[in-house]
Amino acid sequence: MKRILLINGPNLNRLGMREPNIYGEKTLKQLEEEVTQFALDINTEVSCFQSNHEGEIIDMIHGAEHTYDGIIINPGAFTHYSYAIRDAIASISLPVVEVHISNVHAREEFRHTSVTAPVTVGQIVGLGFYGYKLAVLAILQK
């Protein structure tokens, strides 16, 4: 069985309560259950982790190397400025797919830049929770 680590970054624990017009009405728990079930149906195990802290996210990325086959990450606002998370992704050999629930390109200028995307295998934006499922498929292709 393939194993994928799902990392959601800051403020994504507020899904369902946070700007529902942008991020929808469903909670992080629902997201994690949906993605976990989708993956299980194709014989893949997903482990879920959420943190509001940059260092914790970096530690999870480092620790994933010998346990998982790939990482799905939504770094939240860290996407736009965390060179430390970028370097952590670059430091491991696993395929990493970046996901954003909202279409960041249709939003404020500062969201148009991702400092992390260049060290991932690809980025999926604007497709809501479905983007995470596509990311599972993408990692299985690697």
Binding region for ligand DQA (CB under 6 A) out of 27-35, 47-55, 69-77, 115-123? 69-77
Annotated active-site residue 23? The verdict is yes
Using rule CB under 6 A, residue 96 touches ligand DQA: no
Binds ligand DQA by CB under 6 A, chosen from 6, 58, 60, 76: 76
> Taking Cα atoms as reference points, which of 95, 99, 103, 142 lies closest to residue 120?
95
Q: Does 79 bind ligand DQA (CB under 6 A)?
A: yes
- Among candidate residues 100, 105, 112, 132, the one labeled active-site is 100
Task: Decide if 98 contacts 124 (C-beta within 8 A).
Answer: yes
Contacts 24+ apart (CB under 8 A), 21-28: 22/101, 22/102, 22/107, 23/101, 23/102, 24/101, 24/128, 24/129, 26/129
Closest distance of CB 1 from ligand DQA, Å: 27
Please name every residue paired with 45 in a beta bridge, in sequence order, or none if there are none. 3
What residues make contact with ligand DQA under the rule CB under 6 A? Answer: 11, 74, 76-77, 79, 100-102, 104, 111
- Catalytic annotation, residues: 23, 100
